Amino acid sequence: MAEQFAVEVIKCHGTGNDFFALDETEAILIPDPLKAAFARLVADRQEGAGADGILFVSAFDAQHPRMRFFNPDGSEAEMCGNGLRCAARLCFEGHYRGQDPLLFKTLGGTFRTENFFSTTHQMPFVRVTTDPVSINPDNILASRTTTPFLAQPVPVGDQSWMGTILSIGNPHLIVPVADLHNVALMELGHALECHPLFPRRTNVSFVQGVDRHTLLVQTYERGVGLTLSCGTGMTASVVAQVLNGTVQNQEPVAVHTAGGIAWVTPRVTEEGISAQLTGNATWVYRGKIPLIIRDDTIHFASETLVDKEYVYEEEARHYGQLAEQTLFDPAILRGTSLEKRLLQR
């Protein structure tokens, strides 16, 4: 027996990292056993609607929303910083209207979010606090060592790359480079993501320093590939560079990516490490996806994959003005999977 229905979605992004968000605070829209299949179907950029991931936002309890995040390959990630900003806005304007701050439950832990309107950029912003940031790599490395992995060599073929491992609720390898133009981002990113050191794979961010308050970052996300930005990757990159002495501690650091700019304020002290990620949570459009469930599989029910009901043109215009200020050179991504997306933006 087949069941046909349409699911309401919001296409959204944080620093160009784009998602479909589903509000399940009042009712389950996609059955749990089909969430991974839904992500593979919808997020596929060739055959589907296209996105860097799917956000399922629900009510953990009366005070705490919950976010689950699925990658385009159907794997469920512990945390997504850009996605959490979008989830926070969805809750602040919806089921948890007016409640601020919000404490989100995720597989990667509990995260505090604060919603505000940026008068400078004329759009909704969200600040995400990660406390603590972990430098204990025992749940990331195959060796299960508890010794911090700071500026240590990671061999790839006949080369070795210096890297730092952190957890922002999910695993990250931060690799500083002299010039992003000279890095084979797709090949090296994949090799490091799937390196034998990491039994559950890892996110990889390549970082080029500009000055003590500015970084260029390109992330190869676990289960996604190259993305225009990665919120936890930006956060981990700044903290790693503080630990390695190249950026300023306890002051905002501007992180420039292909998708735009966000700001990370690290706090590295003897008592522990925390960080705040601040940036946009932008709506692209609101619409419905016609679906059909047949024999425990999920499919599109129409050649029109998404029926767009409202396009947020003003938000796109304001975000475009911010994105134009990025110092990230699009030529860095020439010949990669992101080149076409940059041309279409």
Q: What residues act catalytically?
A: 80, 230
DSSP codes of every residue in 5-58: EEEEEEEEEETTEEEEEEE-SSS-SS-GGGHHHHHHHHH-TTTSS--S-EEEEE
Query: How far is Cα 263 from Cα 139, in angstroms, rounded to an integer?
Result: 27
Helix (H) / strand (E) element for 199: namely none
The SS3 assignment for 319 reads: helix
Spatial CA neighbour of 337 closest among 13, 40, 65, 50:
50
Phi-psi category of 273—alpha, beta or left, where left has phi over 0 and alpha has psi -120 to 50? beta
The secondary structure of residue 180, as a DSSP letter, is: G
Spatial CA neighbour of 283 closest among 6, 7, 14:
14
Which is it for the CA torsion 66, 165, 17, 318, positive or negative?
A: positive
The secondary structure of residue 112, as a DSSP letter, is: E
Are the C-beta atoms of residues 17 and 83 closer than 8 Å to each other? yes
